[in-house]
Amino acid sequence: MSTFRSTNPARPAEVVAELPLHGAGDVDTAVDRAAEAQRAWAARPVPERADAIAAVGTVLRARKAELAELVSREAGKVRIEAGGEVQEAIDMAAFVAGQGRSAMGEVVPSELGSKLAWTTRIPVGVVGMITPWNFPVAIPSWKVFPALLAGNGVVMKPSELAPACGVAFIEACIEAGIPAELLQVVHGGAEPAAALATHPGVGAVSFTGSVPTGRKVAAAAMEVGPKLVSLELGGKNAMVVLEDADLDLVLDGALFGAFGSSGQRCTSTSRLVIQRGIAGEVVERLAARADALRLGDPLEAATDVGPVIDHRSGERIVGMVDHAVQEGAKVVTGGRLRTDVDGCTGGTFVEPTILRGVERHHRIAREEVFGPVLSVIEVDDLAEAVEVVNGVEYGLSAAVYTRDINAALRAVAAIDTGITYVNAPTIGAEIPLPFGGTKHTGNGFREAGTRGIEQFSQVKTVYVDYSGRLQRAQIDNREA
Ligand code: UN1
């Protein structure tokens, strides 16, 4: 079987893992195995499945440092953020385990006597998951735990850029006692992804990634017959800063939101939509802070900004910056590709970049960058800010910074995103609440939170008539 290698983005000569390159036939085998194991799993009571998921949380906690190191090595995430990512998976295990002992449906009074009516959740069978490299442990946990709780088997295809993280996560699940056959992993790129999405034995497909790929996956999946398809796609997240905001807080938030994870989160702050009167001061102070950020090996504690995932991605990012300059934006700081970072031979970095003079029609103001680039867009007031925030095709996350409670709540009401923050950056969603976006960001499903299970299960409505006679809904005891 042919293989491929994942490498450390900080030092691409360093191989992290070598994995088999799977094809459609391997996907068939994986789906069959998961389907076989699923029957016994689904027969276990939900709280028992929940206990198994809680046990995974314990294993993840014991292995937190080791997994975080792997995330740093394979996905280039700085150590402290890699730890946060593993913690997100630990939190998800705790949350989903609790969900297994909570209400999972509704009980409704029947309109007829001696009759019960309730809903419950049933598994779809096997769930196909296509997961990204940027949260290679946390996002699998958002999908795998609720899918398991619902009683499903899993076939996961982690990104070929960070497959070892996906494998390590699945291994932790198995070490904790989840049946190995229930959790299948396939590797590679478009071929196994397409085979998984279109497999008739896969009852739900859960995809996190780019808009173009998401559209293809969804269209292909629906071709073979209706199934649940959940998409978690891009973002073009904005931080609105009003004149009365606490500017120190703004600087901290913008810096973390825009340059954390080298801007490679779907929630990264990509636009700073700021009232004109304070733009000069904020940009100047922010640029000084951005300049001081240290590029380096993500494993070193002193590093603030790690590499981008690969050279091609770096070129794409600076290409977008160059294009913005051609359209009239000005680079305040950064803007360059760096391949000379100490201890990171061959690694590609993008300097934390701030662009001023960005107009809302510029490409950089509309398209996802997925890199450490913050576009400053100046506006007159909150109404114009909201127009700018909403004037893109994405709707994942937004933030508003102000001390005026009325302005904050007006912004919250008017901003069209799935997640809105007040006086906090656009990143940092917490597990017990739904994660996802409006418009082209997704197709309405949410991950995490109590709704996280919806993309992996179907609702079953149950009626039990214990009257011993035929009772007719809408007819008996009603006016003719
Ligand atoms: C992502 O960028 O794909 O809210 C997920 C956050 C993280 C998850 C981000 N908790 O930034």
User: How high does pLDDT run on average in the chain?
Assistant: 97
> Hey, which of 370, 435, 446, 447 would you mutate to test ligand 1's pocket, going by the most ligand atoms within 8 Å of its Cβ?
435
**Residues near ligand 1 (Cβ within 6 A):** 88, 134-135, 265-267, 427-429
Residue 185's pLDDT is 98
- Confidence grade of residue 128 (pLDDT, cut at 50, 70, 90): very high
Name residue, tokens 């990204």.
132
Q: How far is the CA of 163 from the centre of ligand 1 (A)?
A: 18
In angstroms, how far apart are the furthest CA atoms of the chain? 84
Residue 125's pLDDT is 98
Q: Are strands 153-158 and 330-333 parallel, antiparallel or unpaired?
A: unpaired
Catalytic position from the list 160, 266, 344, 351: 266
Query: What's the DSSP call for residue 330?
Result: E
Residues 269-308 have pLDDT tens digits of: 999 999 999 999 999 999 999 999 999 999 999 999 999 9
**Catalytic residue flag (residue 232):** yes
Q: How far is the CA of 424 from the centre of ligand 1 (A)?
A: 14
Q: How far is the CA of 441 from the centre of ligand 1 (A)?
A: 13
Tokens in use for 476?
């008996």
Atom number, ligand 1, closest to the C-alpha of residue 430: 10
Residue 158's pLDDT is 98
Residue 1's pLDDT is 81
- Distance set, CA 188 to CA 30, 166, 194 (Å): 14, 12, 11
Share of the chain above pLDDT 90, in %: 99
Residues 149-180 have pLDDT tens digits of: 999 999 999 999 999 999 999 999 999 999 99
Q: Which residues pair with 241 in a beta bridge?
A: 274, 401
**81-89: Cβ within 8 A, 24+ apart:** 81/260, 81/261, 82/298, 85/135, 85/137, 85/138, 86/60, 86/137, 86/138, 88/135, 88/137, 88/138, 88/141, 88/431, 89/60, 89/137, 89/138, 89/140, 89/141, 89/169
**Catalytic residue flag (residue 14):** no
Residue with more model confidence, 480 or 76: 76
Residues 380-400 have pLDDT tens digits of: 999 999 999 999 999 999 999
Q: Is the pLDDT of residue 225 over 90?
A: no
